Amino acid sequence: MSQKQWIAGINAVSSALEHDAEHVREVLIEAGAKNPRLGEIENQARRLDIDVRRVGTQALDGVVGNLRHQGVVARYAAAKTWSENELEGLIEAAEGRALVLILDGVQDPHNLGACLRSAAAAAVTVVVFPKDKAVQVNATVRKTSAGAADTIPVIPVTNLARTMRELQQLGVWIYGLAGDAGASLYGLDLRGNVALALGGEADGLRRLTRENCDQLVSIPMPGGSNVESLNVSVAAGVCLFEAVRQRVPA
């Protein structure tokens, strides 16, 4: 089911036009703005036969509130909401090289957006997070993700522990990031069907999530800190690109 919303910012709007133009309903651009990228967005939208209007800054502020719009917003009907019953097909389509990111209770939309941006860059198969007690994909997430929220499968799930067990039944090995874990991230083989589970900003992985991991690991910290002291999006980037390093030929 499509959900109408506004997305804001040059990267977010440009990505929507490039990857999902059929769901962009109109583009509003700040009148008198001199940024050449806004002109490129306007020309791209007009080529795609999408309505473009030049409006005042106050009109843009009124549409997106406190979001930093950089002179452009778009009215957008999100193309696809991924559902839990599509998870099996996504894993099978990865043919033994699925890379799954599990986010357990991330609360800050900027953190979720940054995680999605890293996930897209790392060619993650799917991002999974709970429907409850976690931020969902909203306008702030879309902007922070620079379009990544529209280019990779993102599945909010009703019961995260159950979904993890389903992933295991599909042949996915789940590593959970925990500061008290003795094993190192860098000692893992991340080339097969792998899921990386990271906890939220406040408490890290919840008890049930930890218990449903196949193994808990940590990121080595020569400075003496632990994984909980890292921003979750930074930790996600470290983990995902260790998997990329192993998977991409030198």
- DSSP element (H, E) containing 156: strand 154-157
Which tokens belong to 215? 């193994």
**Cross-sheet strand order for the sheet of 24-30:** 4-8, 72-77, 24-30, 51-55
- Determine if residue 223 is labeled as part of a ligand binding site: no
Which tokens belong to 144? 């922070």
Which tokens belong to 111? 């953190």
- DSSP tally for the chain: helices H, then strands E: 9, 11
Which tokens belong to 207? 């008890």
- Determine if residue 230 is labeled as part of a ligand binding site: yes
Residue 91's Cβ-side half-sphere holds a number of Cα atoms within 13 Å equal to: 24
Residues 6+ apart with CB under 8 A from 103: 112, 115, 127, 128, 129, 134, 197, 198, 200, 232, 236
- Determine if residue 219 is labeled as part of a ligand binding site: yes
Q: Which residues are annotated as a binding site?
A: 199, 219, 230
Q: Which residues are annotated as a binding site for S-adenosyl-L-methionine?
A: 199, 219, 230
